[in-house]
């Protein structure tokens, strides 16, 4: 009898699950764009103000500066979807692609932006929805020759390696065109083949999602999307990309493989490395030397580098003892310096404070064990003690004097280090070098392009994430980090590249900023003009404000050469810089934004503030020049000798109409070696979100003794913007100089 009852219950359960699995999931669409094009008068007025500033600085006529964001995620990215849930204090619910279009047009009033959702979450259906949403956004832009907004299609190739030799970092793929016959049939991921096999048994998750749909909120969406991703098979290997089925997942494990696949399509494409120096992803010791090996840099595609975003700046190199080895090549934990506290060392100090009545020898053994395990933990050294807080680790592994630094700076992945290296292979011809133009963007994960125009609504306008309440944290934290079985014994750390690692964001929150913007010197507002400016590297980045910047080599053969140029020059170079600060912002939103979106949508997206310039500009405080003289194969200079930052600094008069500087380098002509120059225009000091980082306090000897993190969750109030003074800035693209005859063939090739 009991067997028959059990069998009957099993049959009923099986039928129930079958019915649940047969019910289609909810419609997760790209959303509906609500705002029409911006009034033509507003766009003309905006352009006229920039032109007037250029005239006052005697800048070259014929081109205009346009601002954008080439790194925007929607909740089509699986990490953004997780962060949108009520588990997080910043969880606002879904922000699909349509939100990005309306935000760009009416909250930030940018001229162009791109969609860059993580490729692995862009299933065939989602890729189609993204393409259609981008087309709809452009369809509302008015005259294609003079639109109010240009939206580009793209995705993010998100590669992470566990060792310095296998780590290349993330790259945004941007496509010029929108038509189906001018874009790849599918985005290309960095996943190893077979990654989804371990999630094949999704029947339980599907049943939970169907059954608990009314109660799960965003987590139902997460389960649904995960199931959709699992259902997409890996593409067969060895087949050219255009010949693959449209409904498979195409993977490329290295940049070289990505370039090969993109080259098979033959479409105009940009591949932009980003956030490379961020230690959340890059393992200790990672460096851009890997980008110069095995075809992992292709100047046809890699014309630009994102040197700053809402996740910090990857510009600055520092001589940090980040990766130290002994004579045998084994990693060792370095002692602190006045500028740097290694996390492995702090792990030892945490252990020392817990020794209590342990014998001295045993205490020291455990201190050394804690250091060793923290070194072995790679990107997660703070997990060797699972019960610690952000405060316990002070400011370990942080750059203390960087501008809006990335979390756990990896100096070998910085833009300056990349400019300073070269790969020499006599059999392959001239040295290979990285000659990127510089841009900045946001890396925003809530469909908000160009959030850095104002410092407000920290939880919405940055990617600062944290658990929503004390009660939630107390329930979730043991699952996130595991329980500390013995507080007097450090633990080995397994990989945290999983959902648990995605949720453990508390330390990152102090290094999240509203984000940067990319600017181009373009001949027009249309798609083609913007694209051409990006390809010729006549582009620059800002930390958020719309600073105007011009940088040129005055005495280039054939006439002045703008930023991004590569020039053969034998004489002393003469450069000129012009810069004007952004407009001082007025509170609230302009009338055009109020008219353009419904009040509820305007509030949800813009959070009460929009780009709303007044009549006065912030002064430019100084112009800094950075000179980098890369390896030539003959010199024995160390990296600090090759990177000169700043090489020159020119204070500016506090004039709201801008600053103009001319300088030259008399050492270049006689050096017979290449050199690269770029400039930073520093705006007068203003308050900025998280500009103080962990807000470290030091004792009289200069030792870090206390930090006050800006938590993304309940520990820091939502209305606390965590402001600190900062010189917002613009970074020009470099100008690369070569003595004639020394390094032929180094000029970057145009895109395909």
Residues 269 and 368 both lie in one domain: no
Short-list 180, 246, 414, 227, CA closest to 318: 414
Cα distances from 264 to residues 259, 267, 565, in angstroms, run: 9, 9, 28
Residues 585 and 666 both lie in one domain: yes
List the domain range (segments joined by +) for residue 102: 40-191+249-320+411-458+512-690+726-738
Half-sphere exposure of 328 (CA within 13 A, CB side): 3
What lies within 8 Å, CB to CB, of 412 at 6+ separation is: 164, 285, 286, 287, 288, 289, 322, 323
- Summarised one tens digit per residue, pLDDT across range 355-413 is 999 999 999 999 999 999 999 999 999 999 989 999 999 999 999 999 999 999 999 99
The stretch 684-692 carries a mean pLDDT of: 98
Residues 255 and 376 both lie in one domain: no
Residues 148 and 185 both lie in one domain: yes
CATH number at residue 80: 3.20.20.140
Measured CA to CA, the distance from residue 511 to residue 712 in angstroms comes to 10
Residues 145 and 275 both lie in one domain: yes
| 8 domain-assigned | no
What per-residue confidence (pLDDT) applies to 216?
61
Residue showing tokens 């939630």: 472
- Summarised one tens digit per residue, pLDDT across range 532-588 is 999 999 999 999 999 999 999 999 999 999 999 999 999 999 999 999 999 999 999
In the chain, the number of structural domains is: 2
| 682 domain-assigned | yes
Residues 380 and 423 both lie in one domain: no
Residue 218 has pLDDT above 80, yes or no: no
What per-residue confidence (pLDDT) applies to 617?
96
| 708 domain-assigned | no
What per-residue confidence (pLDDT) applies to 166?
93
What per-residue confidence (pLDDT) applies to 49?
84
| 720 domain-assigned | no
Residue 500 confidence class, pLDDT cut points 50, 70, 90: low
Residues 353 and 440 both lie in one domain: no
Residue 609 has pLDDT above 70, yes or no: yes
What per-residue confidence (pLDDT) applies to 752?
34
Beta strand 112-115 with 64-72 is parallel
| 20 domain-assigned | no
Residues 265 and 182 both lie in one domain: yes
Residues 302 and 416 both lie in one domain: yes
| 154 domain-assigned | yes
Cα distances from 45 to residues 40, 48, 613, in angstroms, run: 9, 5, 11
Pick the last residue of a domain from 398, 424, 441: 398
- Total Cβ atoms within 10 A of residue 233: 11
Residue 429 has pLDDT above 80, yes or no: no
Pick the last residue of a domain from 398, 419, 444: 398
| 673 token code pair | 């070696």
Residues 100 and 167 both lie in one domain: yes
What per-residue confidence (pLDDT) applies to 204?
56
Residues 148 and 66 both lie in one domain: yes
Residue 12 has pLDDT above 70, yes or no: no
Q: To the nearest whole percent, how much of the chain has pLDDT over 90?
A: 74
| 388 domain-assigned | yes
Pick the last residue of a domain from 398, 430, 445: 398
Residues 387 and 425 both lie in one domain: no
Phi/psi of residue 737, each to 5°? -110, 140
Residue 325 confidence class, pLDDT cut points 50, 70, 90: confident
What per-residue confidence (pLDDT) applies to 431?
83
| 504 domain-assigned | no
Short-list 225, 234, 231, 232, CA closest to 201: 231
Phi/psi of residue 121, each to 5°? -90, -10
Measured CA to CA, the distance from residue 555 to residue 722 in angstroms comes to 46
């Amino acid at each position: 009898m009991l067997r028959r009852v059990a069998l009957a219950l099993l049959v009923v359960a099986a039928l129930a699950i079958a019915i649940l699995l047969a019910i289609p999931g909810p419609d997760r669409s790209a959303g509906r764009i609500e705002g029409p094009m911006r009034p033509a008068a507003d766009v003309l007025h905006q352009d006229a103000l920039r032109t007037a500033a250029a005239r006052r600085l005697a800048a070259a006529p014929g081109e205009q500066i346009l601002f954008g964001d080439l790194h925007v995620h929607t909740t089509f990215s699986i990490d953004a979807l997780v962060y949108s849930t009520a588990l997080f204090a910043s969880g606002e619910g879904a922000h699909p692609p349509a939100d990005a279009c309306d935000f760009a047009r009416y909250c930030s009033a940018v001229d162009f932006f791109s969609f860059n959702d993580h490729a692995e979450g862009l299933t065939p259906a989602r890729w189609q929805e993204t393409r259609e949403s981008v087309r709809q956004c452009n369809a509302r832009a008015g005259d294609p020759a003079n639109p109010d907004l240009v939206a580009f299609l793209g995705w993010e190739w998100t590669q992470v390696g566990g060792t310095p030799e296998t780590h290349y970092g993330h790259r945004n793929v941007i496509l010029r065109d929108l038509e189906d016959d001018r874009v790849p049939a599918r985005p290309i991921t960095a996943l190893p083949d077979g990654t989804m096999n371990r999630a094949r048994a999704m029947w339980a998750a599907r049943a939970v999602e169907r059954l608990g749909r009314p109660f799960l909120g965003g987590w139902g969406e997460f389960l649904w999307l995960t199931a959709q991703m699992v259902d997409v098979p890996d593409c067969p290997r060895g087949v050219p990309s255009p010949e693959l089925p449209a409904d498979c997942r195409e993977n490329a494990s290295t940049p070289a493989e990505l370039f090969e696949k993109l080259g098979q399509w033959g479409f105009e494409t940009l591949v932009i490395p980003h956030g490379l120096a961020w230690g959340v992803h890059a393992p200790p010791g990672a460096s851009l030397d890997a980008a110069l090996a095995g075809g992992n840099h292709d100047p046809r595609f890699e014309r630009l580098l994102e040197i700053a975003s809402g996740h910090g700046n990857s510009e600055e190199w520092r001589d940090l003892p980040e990766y130290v080895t002994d004579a045998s090549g084994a990693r060792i934990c370095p002692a602190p310096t006045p500028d740097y506290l290694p996390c492995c060392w702090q792990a030892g100090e945490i252990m020392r404070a817990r020794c209590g009545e342990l014998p001295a020898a045993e205490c020291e053994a455990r201190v050394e064990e804690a250091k060793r395990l923290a070194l072995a933990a790679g990107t997660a050294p703070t997990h060797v003690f699972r019960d610690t807080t952000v405060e316990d680790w002070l400011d370990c592994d942080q750059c203390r004097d960087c501008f809006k630094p990335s979390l756990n700076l990896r100096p070998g992945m910085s833009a300056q280090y990349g400019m300073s290296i070269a790969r020499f292979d006599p059999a392959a011809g001239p040295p290979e070098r990285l000659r990127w133009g510089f841009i900045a963007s946001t890396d925003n994960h809530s469909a908000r392009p160009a959030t850095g125009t104002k410092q407000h609504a920290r939880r919405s306008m940055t990617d600062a994430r944290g658990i929503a309440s004390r009660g939630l944290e107390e329930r979730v934290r043991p699952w996130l980090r595991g329980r500390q079985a013995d507080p007097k014994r450090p633990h080995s750390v397994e990989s945290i590249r999983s959902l648990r690692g995605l949720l453990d964001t508390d330390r990152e929150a102090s290094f999240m900023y509203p984000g940067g913007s990319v600017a181009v010197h373009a001949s027009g507002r249309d798609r083609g003009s913007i694209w051409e400016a990006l390809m010729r590297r006549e582009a620059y980045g800002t930390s958020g404000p719309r600073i105007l910047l011009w940088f040129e080599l005055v005495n280039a053969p054939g006439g002045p050469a703008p930023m991004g140029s590569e020039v053969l020059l034998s004489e002393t170079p003469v450069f000129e810089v012009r810069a004007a600060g952004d407009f001082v912002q007025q509170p609230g939103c302009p009338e055009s934004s109020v008219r353009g979106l419904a009040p509820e949508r305007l509030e949800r997206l813009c959070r009460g503030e929009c780009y709303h310039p007044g009549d006065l500009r912030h002064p430019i405080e100084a112009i800094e020049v950075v000179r980098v003289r890369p390896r030539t194969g003959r010199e024995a200079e160390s990296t600090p000798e090759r990177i000169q930052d700043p090489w020159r600094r020119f204070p500016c008069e506090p004039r709201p109409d801008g600053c103009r500087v001319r300088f030259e380098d008399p050492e270049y002509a006689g050096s017979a070696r290449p050199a690269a120059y770029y400039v930073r225009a520093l705006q007068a000091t203003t308050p900025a979100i998280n500009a103080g980082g962990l807000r470290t306090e030091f004792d009289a000897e200069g030792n870090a003794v206390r930090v006050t993190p800006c938590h993304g969750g309940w520990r820091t109030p939502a209305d606390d913007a965590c402001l600190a003074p900062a010189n917002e800035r613009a970074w020009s693209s470099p100008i690369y100089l070569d003595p004639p005859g020394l390094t032929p063939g180094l000029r970057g090739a145009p895109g395909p």
